[in-house]
């Protein structure tokens, strides 16, 4: 039998070429940003605090698609789905400890909530995270490019959590979106933690629009609804109003704590954003939020933001967690033409205090409701929604 013997120098050359190719490919895909860091020191930690159906998934993507951000969507979901027959109050500390660990790029906290063979695909809505679709977690999306969720789900699902931790460590900002906090008190230990530079962005939305969206997604939100209501047996006809009342009360508690009587360690670390302001003047609002946490906007992001807020889609009851291109301002006004006035009256009754505090005007008749030229937002200039950070986190701040 003939045997082909390859000279040793040729073998060494092939190995060298292969190694150089791998290095070049990795550097092309991952090119770290100048602000990136390999440890938690110097990182900025951002909590996007909101409630269900308030536009929080869109806001999450605004941060997720930034190349300096490691983003995860609702780590607290794992806590709420793993511990049965509990209420929101009893679960809040477990949710807080979970996000503390994730902020520190320690995903071992998931050991209690996901199966033994832990892949990134076990993380809630993992494929919506650009960082988990990019090196070092996955070689799919080059640095600075917009990630595509379907492709990520197809090619990056079997990567382990250690690679996710490595991805977290290589970004300057860790951003988490959470809808499971109903006050700020339980977050105080995180705000006092010297290893965390925590900023809170609090997203609110007109409760009438929230109600309409919740009705469309009631089945997907059923488990969370029971936890919000502390497993109470409430007639079906009243459940959505009771949930909305709890949400509105939580916005009042958070607002009063952060704006009216803030503890010293919270000053400069809280910013409120109304969804309606965000979709009407997207670039200005997003640049303001980026400045608040020390990020710069890129041309790629500006183009993506325009596309995602000026599409033709309207959304359906089957896409409770899907981010699609749509005319965001039209969506924000849809309740005015589709929600019966009797429901609007009841919503205004249960959320009257929050609406007044946050700048949402009530309507006194069906005619006013459907008169789209009638402005129902109090100008934001009348509200002091945030402070700038006390210390700069970026040379460009």
CB 315 within 8 A of CB 331: yes
pLDDT of 364 above 80 = yes
Mean pLDDT of 132-154: 90
User: Across all residues in the chain, what is the average pLDDT?
Assistant: 83
Domains of the chain: 42-382 (3.40.50.300)
pLDDT of 349 above 70 = yes
Q: In the numeric block, which tokens belong to residue 135?
A: 């090196």
Mean pLDDT of 322-338: 71
Per-position DSSP letters for 259-289, written without gaps between them: IIS--GGGTTSEEEEEHHHHHHSHHHHHHHH
CB 301 within 8 A of CB 145: no
Supply the pLDDT for residue 82: 92
Supply the pLDDT for residue 311: 66
Task: Kindly report, residue by residue over 245-268, the tens digit of the pLDDT.
Answer: 999 999 999 999 999 889 999 999
Supply the pLDDT for residue 90: 94
Residue ranges in 138-193 assigned as alpha helix (H): 149-155, 161-169, 188-192
Instruction: Tell me the chain's radius of gyration from C-alpha atoms.
Output: 23
Confidence of residue 295 (pLDDT cuts 50, 70, 90): very high
Mean pLDDT of 278-292: 94
**Residue 34 CB-density burial (10 A; 0-12 exposed, 13-18 middle, 19+ buried):** exposed
Confidence of residue 240 (pLDDT cuts 50, 70, 90): very high
Task: Kindly report, residue by residue over 14-29, the tens digit of the pLDDT.
Answer: 333 343 333 333 333 3
Q: E strands of the chain, at which residues?
A: 44-49, 69-73, 173-178, 198-204, 270-274
Strand order across the beta sheet in which 69-73 lies: 69-73, 173-178, 44-49, 198-204, 270-274
Neighbours of 103 (CB within 10 A): 26
Q: In this predicted model, which residue has the larger pLDDT, 59 or 159?
A: 59
Supply the pLDDT for residue 25: 35
Task: Kindly report, residue by residue over 40-74, the tens digit of the pLDDT.
Answer: 568 999 999 999 999 999 999 999 999 999 999 99
Predicted TM-score of the model (pTM): 0.83
Supply the pLDDT for residue 34: 35
Supply the pLDDT for residue 310: 79
pLDDT of 307 above 80 = yes
Cα–Cα nearest to 152, from 124, 133, 131, 138: 133
């Amino acid at each position: 039998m003939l045997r082909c013997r390859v000279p040793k120098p040729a073998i060494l050359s092939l190995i060298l070429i292969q190694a150089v190719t791998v290095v070049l490919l990795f550097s092309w895909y991952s090119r770290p940003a100048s602000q990136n860091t390999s440890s938690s020191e110097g990182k900025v930690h951002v909590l996007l605090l909101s409630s269900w159906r308030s536009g929080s998934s869109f806001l999450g993507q605004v941060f997720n698609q930034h190349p300096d951000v490691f983003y995860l969507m609702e780590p607290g979901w794992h806590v709420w789905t793993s511990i049965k027959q509990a209420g929101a109050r009893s679960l809040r500390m477990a949710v807080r400890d979970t996000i503390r660990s994730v902020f520190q790029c320690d995903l071992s906290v998931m050991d209690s909530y996901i199966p033994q063979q832990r892949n990134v695909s076990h993380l809630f809505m993992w494929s919506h995270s650009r960082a988990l679709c990019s090196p070092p977690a996955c070689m799919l999306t080059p640095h600075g490019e917009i990630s595509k969720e379907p492709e990520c789900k197809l090619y990056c699902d079997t990567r382990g959590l250690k690679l996710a931790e490595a991805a977290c460590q290589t970004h300057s900002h860790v951003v988490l979106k959470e809808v499971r906090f109903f006050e700020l008190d339980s977050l105080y230990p995180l705000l006092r933690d010297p290893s965390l530079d925590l900023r809170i962005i609090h997203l609110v939305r007109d409760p009438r629009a929230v109600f309409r969206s919740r009705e469309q997604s009631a089945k997907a939100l059923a488990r969370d609804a029971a936890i919000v209501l502390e497993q109470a047996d409430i007639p079906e006809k009243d459940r959505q109003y009771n949930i909305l009342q709890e949400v509105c009360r939580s916005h009042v508690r958070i607002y009063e704590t952060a704006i009216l009587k803030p503890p010293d360690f919270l000053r400069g670390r809280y910013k409120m954003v109304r969804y309606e302001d965000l979709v009407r003047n997207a670039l200005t609002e997003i640049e303001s939020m980026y400045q608040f946490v020390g990020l710069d906007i890129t041309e790629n992001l500006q183009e993506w933001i325009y596309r995602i807020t000026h599409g033709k889609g309207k959304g359906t009851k089957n896409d409770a967690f899907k981010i699609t291109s749509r005319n965001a301002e039209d969506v924000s006004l849809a309740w005015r033409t589709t929600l019966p006035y009797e429901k609007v009256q009841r919503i205004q009754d249960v959320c009257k205090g929050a609406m007044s505090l946050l700048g949402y005007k009530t309507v006194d008749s069906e005619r006013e409701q459907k008169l789209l030229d009638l402005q129902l937002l109090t100008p934001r200039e009348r509200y002091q929604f945030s402070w700038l950070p006390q210390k700069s986190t970026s040379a460009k701040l």
